[in-house]
Amino acid sequence: MSSSVQKLLIIITAPEDADRLLEKMTEAGHPVTKISSTGGFLRRGNVTLLSGVAAAAVDEVLAMVRAECRPREEYVPVQTLPFPGSLPPDQPLQVRAGGAIVFVLDTERFEKI
């Protein structure tokens, strides 16, 4: 069991950003597990990264997330959205894509077996 304070980071990001972030985290010595997931609003594939890190390393990892997971503006056909009847069907809708959502959780116990 680790004696230092640990945090569990849950990082949800776009697949095109995840591999770069995973590489940077691994190079810096932070363990990371990659899980495929699907987002609700745009119904696109996402990647969820799980990483148990020392509390002192959280800001370092967040800086990596900010550097590698930049938000972008994209246009999507209205028909692909979960509420297609509420918007004119002939125009694409500008949406925010990319970026990341990060949850930082206290970890009561962390064991590496």
* Domain range summary for the chain, segments of one domain joined by +: 6-106
Bridge partners of 38, per DSSP, are 45
Instruction: Give which of 113, 70, 78 is closest to 95, Cα–Cα.
Output: 78
Q: For 85-112, write each residue's pLDDT tens digit.
A: 555 666 776 667 678 999 999 998 878 7
Instruction: Give which of 101, 71, 83, 102 is closest to 9, Cα–Cα.
Output: 102
CATH number corresponding to 6-106: 3.30.70.120
pLDDT number for residue 81 = 58
Region of poorest pLDDT, from 2-6, 38-42, 64-68, 71-75: 38-42
State mean pLDDT over 1-6.
Answer: 64
Number of Cβ within a 10 Å radius of residue 25: 23
Q: For 31-60, write each residue's pLDDT tens digit.
A: 999 998 876 555 667 899 999 999 999 999
Residue 2 confidence class, pLDDT cut points 50, 70, 90:
very low
